[in-house]
Amino acid sequence: MRQTARRLAVLCSALFAMIAMTPAQAQAVETRPVPVTASDKYALKSVGAGGLYVSVEVDSTGEGETMLRARKAAATLEDLGSWEKFTLHTDDKGWSTTLRSEGNGNYVTTERNFTGSHQNLLRARGTTAGDWEKLQLEKQADGTYALKAATNAGDKYVTAEVQDPGNDAGLLRARGDTVGSWQKFQLVHLGEENASDLGGRPAPASPAPAADFRVMSWNVCANHNDDCGNHRVEGPSLGDQITSRMGTTAEAQQYRAVFLQEICESQVKPIENWLESKTGTGWDVRFAPIKFTVDNSSVKAARTCDNSGSTGAWKDRGSYGIGLAVPDANVWYHSYDLPSPQNKTIDGAWVRMEQRTAICAVLPAQALQFCTAHFSAGLATDDADGSKRREQAAELQKIVRSYTMPGYRTVYGGDLNATPPDSTSLEDLPKDVLTSAYAADKECDEGLSSTRPRDGRATKPILKPDPKDNRYIKIDYLFDPSDGTVVSCDVTADAGESDHYPIKARFRF
């Protein structure tokens, strides 16, 4: 990230402190670098306080330091600053949500151990998302929300204390047993930060220059799967793993994109640093979170990654999702919500479904666009019949075609969680999810067999207790336009600390 001034304006990765604090520890507020998180932004507007917005009192001291208070009057949303902005997160798949302040980067905590008029005060001071940071949403008949927090005296509704005096006027604390106007808030959507601007893509060079470049896609498994060595890995280790798979320095300098799935926000900056060290040039890593719809609401919260470190010294890794690393010559990027399974009851149990995403970026000087996605899994509790993956594949085709300005040539792929149309697997169905992609474009590993042209080498080992039950399937892809040339395609049985193999290609346009 060499172009510092420009990148501060468009950076969508979070910066995290590396010192964890538990609610049982001293209740001083941890000051962290202010993040610009890649997730939906919201403001809280208090009904009981006459439409005042909730602010985080970053400059206050003592017990009131970083307390939440309904006190900001704003004629337009542009009048709101970072103190009034929050992102929504969940570490329980949407059963609850956690507010994260844009003012100081901390999670909102219910102060259960405070007494008196500040008992159960809400303050933005948590550096990890734990039980004291969880809030349940209850949508009201008028479209507003009540926020419920667990306290030492049971669950209580968050109340705006509009009659408190002085600097305590409008403070938020969990103390209500019923929902009245003081317990009602509007969740005002402010937009997202995982897009560089609201305009169109920059005009490509005309005619588009020739290009010879490399791309890699790898599901690094750095999220919730404790069977993976990368389960609680931190960014520098992950950056080392990624760059070591890019070959020599000369080969690494030919890369124009790296698609990453199952990464955490806090890993973005270290990965970027490793890419820059490896290649000697500037890089951006764009991030888009995977979300869950929060129970009893119509809003989505970004799922948090499992903490790194060890019990009692956890370190926040932010949200989990997908990443797209591109040279910092990129000036436009955007994420897209993909059609995803909705929460529903399965076999008598309420099952919450991941809301999947895609992200694209362009290199105008070369008229190149890169897009990556992570489709739904084919589990019984997540798109078992493949219907949503078919919709996701159709949406990805729209993104790389209908949503793309003329003149750009697009390479796309990622962990698409579907086997190729000509796969020999009898267990991993359906096999028609990517039929349209194979018809329109070329996958870098296709054509290895004349009898199975739409197939390729396995990228995902599925290992069983009895080795004879092991199977190996292809679910990771790199597609390029049909008028391009695949110079090489490499899939090596090298999962490293992941449960996927990286797929690497060299393209020539």
154 shares a domain with 98: yes
Query: For residues 223 and 358, which has the higher predicted lDDT (pLDDT)?
Result: 358
The reply to whether 216 falls in a domain is yes
Considering the chain, what is the average pLDDT of its residues? 89
276 shares a domain with 219: yes
Q: Which amino acid is at 267?
A: Q
| pLDDT at residue 414 tops 90 | yes
Q: What is the percent of the chain with per-residue pLDDT over 90, rounded to a whole number?
A: 72
| pLDDT at residue 454 tops 90 | yes
| Residue numbers of the domain that contains 469 | 212-508
Would you state the pLDDT for residue 31? 52
Instruction: Read off the pLDDT of each residue in 282-288 and give the average, rounded to a whole number.
Output: 95
The reply to whether 493 falls in a domain is yes
Instruction: Read off the pLDDT of each residue in 387-407 and give the average, rounded to a whole number.
Output: 92
Report the CATH number that the domain containing residue 357 is assigned in CATH: 3.60.10.10
Would you state the pLDDT for residue 10? 34
| pLDDT at residue 12 tops 50 | no
Report the CATH number that the domain containing residue 71 is assigned in CATH: 2.80.10.50
Q: Per-residue pLDDT tens for 119-166?
A: 999 999 998 889 999 999 999 999 999 999 999 999 999 999 999 999
The reply to whether 33 falls in a domain is no
| pLDDT at residue 288 tops 50 | yes
Asked if residue 336 lies in contact with residue 358, where contact means CB atoms within 8 angstroms, the answer is yes
21-25, 351-355, 450-454: the lowest-pLDDT one: 21-25
* Nearest residue to 296 via CA among 191, 146, 175: 146
Alpha carbons 410 and 21: distance in angstroms, whole number: 44
Q: Collapsing DSSP states into helix, strand and coil, what is residue 224?
A: coil
Dihedral angle over CA of 261, 263, 265, 266, nearest 10: -150
Asked if residue 334 lies in contact with residue 344, where contact means CB atoms within 8 angstroms, the answer is no
The reply to whether 338 falls in a domain is yes
169 shares a domain with 219: no
Would you state the pLDDT for residue 37? 61
11-25, 144-158, 215-229, 238-252: the lowest-pLDDT one: 11-25
The reply to whether 356 falls in a domain is yes
Query: For residues 28 and 111, which has the higher predicted lDDT (pLDDT)?
Result: 111
The residue ranges of DSSP E strands in 364-502, in sequence order, are: 368-374, 409-415, 441-443, 460-462, 471-473, 476-481, 485-491
310 shares a domain with 351: yes
Would you state the pLDDT for residue 433? 97
Q: Report how far apart the first and last C-alpha atoms of the chain are (Å, whole number).
A: 27
Q: Which two tokens stand for residue 20?
A: 């964890």
Q: Collapsing DSSP states into helix, strand and coil, what is residue 153?
A: coil
Instruction: Read off the pLDDT of each residue in 244-268 and give the average, rounded to a whole number.
Output: 96
440 shares a domain with 344: yes
The reply to whether 357 falls in a domain is yes
247 shares a domain with 323: yes
312 shares a domain with 177: no
Would you state the pLDDT for residue 158? 98
The reply to whether 28 falls in a domain is no
60-64, 139-143, 256-260, 353-357: the lowest-pLDDT one: 60-64
Would you state the pLDDT for residue 187? 96
Q: Per-residue pLDDT tens for 177-206?
A: 999 999 999 999 997 655 665 456 777 777
203-212, 239-248, 359-368, 398-407: the lowest-pLDDT one: 203-212
171 shares a domain with 297: no
DSSP string, 339-391: P-PPPEEETTEEE---B-EEEEEEEGGGTEEEEEEEPPP-BTTB-TTSHHHHH
The H or E element containing residue 420 is: none
| pLDDT at residue 3 tops 70 | no
Would you state the pLDDT for residue 21? 35
Sheet holding 332-337, edge to edge: 332-337, 357-363, 368-374, 409-415, 476-481, 441-443
Asked if residue 279 lies in contact with residue 271, where contact means CB atoms within 8 angstroms, the answer is no
Asked if residue 178 lies in contact with residue 172, where contact means CB atoms within 8 angstroms, the answer is no
246 shares a domain with 160: no
Asked if residue 175 lies in contact with residue 121, where contact means CB atoms within 8 angstroms, the answer is no
Three-point CA angle 63, 67, 69, nearest 5°: 130
351 shares a domain with 394: yes
Would you state the pLDDT for residue 405? 79
304 shares a domain with 374: yes
Would you state the pLDDT for residue 469? 87
233 shares a domain with 153: no
| Model confidence band, residue 381 (pLDDT cutoffs 50, 70, 90) | confident
Q: Per-residue pLDDT tens for 81-129?
A: 999 999 999 999 999 999 999 999 999 999 999 999 999 999 999 988 8
| pLDDT at residue 18 tops 50 | no
Domain count, the chain: 2
Alpha carbons 338 and 360: distance in angstroms, whole number: 13
* Nearest residue to 138 via CA among 196, 185, 70: 185
Structure pTM? 0.90
Would you state the pLDDT for residue 309? 83
The reply to whether 7 falls in a domain is no
